[in-house]
Amino acid sequence: MKDCSRLIERGVIPVFFIVSILGIFHNSVAGPIAEGCDKFLGNVSTARPPSNFADYWNQVTLENNGKWENVEPNRDQMNWGPVSEAYNYCKQKKFPYRHHTFLWNEQYPKSWFDKLSASEKKAEVEELIKEFGQKFPETDFIDVVNESIDKSPAWKDALGGDGKTGYDWMIWGFEMCRQYIPKAKLAINEYYCEYDTSRVRKYLKIINILKERNLIDCIGIQTHDGETKKGYEMGVLKQCIDTLATAGLPIYSTELDLAGTDEEQLEWYKKIFPIIWEHPAIRGVTLWGWTDSWLLDLSKPKDARLIIDGRERPALKWLREYVSQHKTATKIYSIRIFSPNEADNNLLSSVNNYRIVRFFDLLGRCGYPIIKDKNFPKNAIIIPKNTLRTPFVFETHSGSSSEVRLQIPER
C-alpha cells in the first residue's frame, strides 16, 4: 500500500484508475443475495440476464419471451432464442430455470391459433410442449397453467374441456408435460391468493385434483404488489399461505413486486417479505423485475424497481442484509391431513425427538389446545377429539429425522 500511495502521489497511477479497479474487485466478489440459503431469491429476464444479475439473484424466470405468443408468432416458426439464452445461463451458473408458461388465455398466438379446428389446436399445444422438452430437458420448474381460475383458455374445450373433474383440459396439459419434460417440477400459478380466502379454497381444490394424479410438484402464488399489500392489510396473507400448505407441496412466490417511494417501498418490504421468506412452505421467491417494472405502465408512483439509474434503493440494501441473517428457514418435514371421521379416539403424536411447531385447519386457523397427559409416552401430544371440527395438519421440525409418527391411541 505504501508503494501504491507514493505512485498515486507522484501521479503515476491516477486516482480514478484505483477507484475503478476497486469497483471491479467489489463486483467480482459480490454474490447472489440468497447465496448459501435453503431457498432461492430470483428475478426475471428477457433473455440472457445482464452481467450483474448474479450479484443479486440466483434463479431466473423468463418473462414475456417465454410465452407462446413470442415463441411462435407464426405457425410452425418457433423462436426459442431468448429461452435458450436464459436456460443456458442457468445451466452455467447452476441456477434454477423456471419456464413461464404454457396454458394461459393471454399472450398466446391468437392471430393464427384461433382459426384452427379443435383437433389442430390440441396438436399445436402438444407440439409446443414436446419441442420445448426436446430442447430444454433439464428445465427445473414449469408454470404449466397460469391464472386458471379467471383466465382458463378460451380454447380449453379442444384439450378436453371441463370433463368429469371440471379440469380435464388442465389434467391433459400436465400429462403432456410429464410425458415430454419428465425432469421438470410442474407447477400451477395463480393470483389473488394473497387475500381472497374463498379463492384459495378453490385453488386448493384444483391442486388436490392434480396431486391425486401425481401431476403437480409445487404451487405458485404470484404475490404482486396490490394483492399482496391487500392481504397484509386484511391480516390474511399468512393464513392464505398456511391453507395452501395443507396440500403438502412446496410453494413458490413467483412474481413478487412491491412499489412506492423509497421510504414506502422499504416499509412494505420490511412488513411483507419476512412473512413470505420465513414461511416453512415457501421454497423460493422470484421478484418480478429490479431495474424495470411493468407497474410503471399502470400509474405512478407504482415504481417497484430496486435499482434506478444505477442507484440501489433502500429496499434492496435492506433485502441483502435481511436475507443474510435468515439463511435457514423452518422446514416442514412432514404433513399429514386427518379428517374428524378418522378419529374415533383422541389423536396422539409420539413426537420423541420432534417438536410440534403448530397445527391448523384448512382455513389456516391455529390455536387448538395441546394437552400433555402422564398416561401416554413422554413428549406425547394429545389433540382432544372435540376440537376436530375440520380437517387439520401438523407442522413439525426435527433435529434428527424427517419422519413423524402419528397414531390413534387405544383406549
How high is the pLDDT of residue 30? 72
| Cα 200 to Cα 243: distance, rounded to the nearest angstrom | 7
Give the domain range for residue 356.
337-407
Q: Which of 324, 352, 385 is the last residue of a domain?
A: 324
Tell me whether the omega of the peptide bond preceding residue 101 falls within 30 degrees of 0, making it cis.
yes
CB atoms within 10 A of CB 192: 20
Please identify, among 324, 348, 371, the residue that sits at the C-terminal boundary of a domain.
Answer: 324
Q: How many CB atoms lie within 10 A of CB 56?
A: 24
Same domain (yes/no): 258, 400: no
Are 380 and 237 in a shared domain? no
Nearest to 39 by CA among 267, 262, 218: 218
- Judge if 172 and 61 occupy the same domain: yes
Domain for residue 332, yes or no? no
Please name which of 103, 92, 66 lies closest in space to residue 81, comparing C-alpha atoms. Answer: 66
The 10s digit of each residue's pLDDT in 355-378 is 444 555 555 555 444 444 455 444
**Are 289 and 362 in the same domain?**
no
Regarding whether 402 and 275 lie in a shared domain, the answer is no
Q: Give the whole-angstrom CA distance, residue 335 versus residue 393.
A: 6
Q: What's the CA gap between 11 and 19, in Å, rounded?
A: 14
The pLDDT assigned to 26 comes to: 41
Which stretches of the chain drop beneath a pLDDT of 50?
1-29, 330-340, 342-357, 367-373, 376-381, 388-389, 396-411
pLDDT of residue 327: 87
Nearest to 216 by CA among 207, 228, 224, 225: 207
User: Is there a single domain that holds both residue 156 and residue 233?
Assistant: yes
272 grid coordinates: 411483507
What SS3 class is residue 236?
Answer: coil
Q: Which of 325, 338, 336 is nearest to 277 (CA)?
A: 325
Whole-number Å distance between alpha carbons of 221 and 255: 8
**pLDDT (0 to 100) of residue 56:** 98
Tell me what pLDDT residue 128 has.
98
Residue 15 is predicted with a pLDDT of 44
Give residue 146's pLDDT: 97
Rounded CA separation 127/125 (Å)? 5
In this structure, are 77 and 152 located in the same domain?
yes
What gap in Å lies between CA 395 and CA 25, rounded to an integer? 44
The values of phi and psi at residue 218, to 5°, are -160, 165
- Amino acid 410: pLDDT: 33
Residues 361, 251: one domain? no
* Structure confidence at residue 360 (pLDDT): 54
| Nearest one of 30, 39, 48, 88 to 256, comparing CA atoms | 39
What total number of domains does the chain contain?
3
Residues in the chain: 411
pLDDT on residue 164 = 96
User: What was the pLDDT predicted at 408?
Assistant: 34
- Long-range (24+ apart) CB contacts under 8 A made by 206-210 are 206/148, 206/149, 206/167, 206/170, 207/244, 207/247, 207/249, 208/247, 209/165, 209/166, 209/167, 209/171, 210/167, 210/170, 210/171, 210/174
The per-residue DSSP string of 66-78 comes to GSHHHH-SBTTB-
